[in-house]
Amino acid sequence: MISRRQLIGAAGAGAGGLLLSGCDKIAASPSVQALLEFGNAGTRLAQRAVTDRAALAPEYSGADMSPVFRVNGNATPRSSDYARLLAGRFADWRLQVSGLVAHPLSLSLQDIGHMPARTQITRHDCVEGWSAIGQWTGVPLRLILQQAGLSSRARYIVFRCADDFGGTPYYESIDLIDAFHPQTILAWAMNGRMLSVPHGAPLRLRVERQLGYKQAKYVMGVEAVESFAHIAGGKGGYWEDVSRYQWYAGI
């Protein structure tokens, strides 16, 4: 025998399930997805329109820094190549600058350290909702792109990373507005020390007007491209490919 309580519970669960699957079905329909995409494209265009290209993300004082800066994403790349580089204190590590550039570069950490550096205390905003403030020192990306002689055909900069999720390499991409922004740096130091492994040693991207998943860690390569449609899943980044996170993460 089924008790009344069980019956009511089952009916409730059934109705709830129908409602839930109904909502998710509506959401999954191509026309709804197109509408949402349209709204999100509007957000990017509107934000670009009202924000000066060179407008700076807020910078903070040393007193504003988070006591503990949360580690997110991978805390250490699993590849044996990375382990070897780490064991050699990144002496054999090279940043490959390639793609649509006149002079492909292969830069050691020492080369990068000798380039002009920018230090900034900025806020890192995770897409999940938490924020942490830290100090970053690194070379402005535009100096590297200028040294490599960026082609006029280049529209995006892709960052190839040493870490992976389940065998899928992490990567990210930004447009040239952000690539040439004064606060966009390839950071090799954090809070006054050489970058630690959990925070992306030896080099990570800081693109301060976007969310945390754009701040690629363990950067191994910088590639100038015309389009990222043919790279990995084609959406311009690891999370964009696997979870439909928006490529434009200014919001």
Could you list the residues that contact another protein (CB under 8 A)?
A: 16, 19-21, 23-24, 27, 35-40, 42-43, 47, 50-52, 55-58, 60, 64, 66-68, 70, 123, 125-133, 208-211, 239, 243-246, 250-251
Minimum CB–partner distance for residue 209 and another protein (Å): 5
Using alpha carbons, list the distances in angstroms from residue 163 to 29, 68, 96, 138, 221: 34, 23, 16, 20, 12
CA distance 177 to 55: 11
* Most distant CA pair in the chain, distance: 80
Q: Which is nearer to another protein, 125 or 164 (CB)?
A: 125
In the complex, least distance from residue 55 CB atom to another protein, rounded to whole angstroms: 4
Report, in Å, the least distance between residue 100 CB and another protein.
26
Token pair of 20, please? 């839930």
Given the complex with another protein, which of 74 and 246 has the nearer CB atom? 246
How many angstroms separate the CA atoms of 166 and 138, rounded?
30
Tell me the closest approach of the beta carbon of residue 94 to another protein, in angstroms.
31
Q: Toward another protein, which CB reaches closer, 30 or 67? A: 67
Assess contact for 170 and 158: CB atoms under 8 A: no
C-alpha of 19 from chain center: 35
Shorter beta-carbon distance to another protein: residue 119 or 131: 131
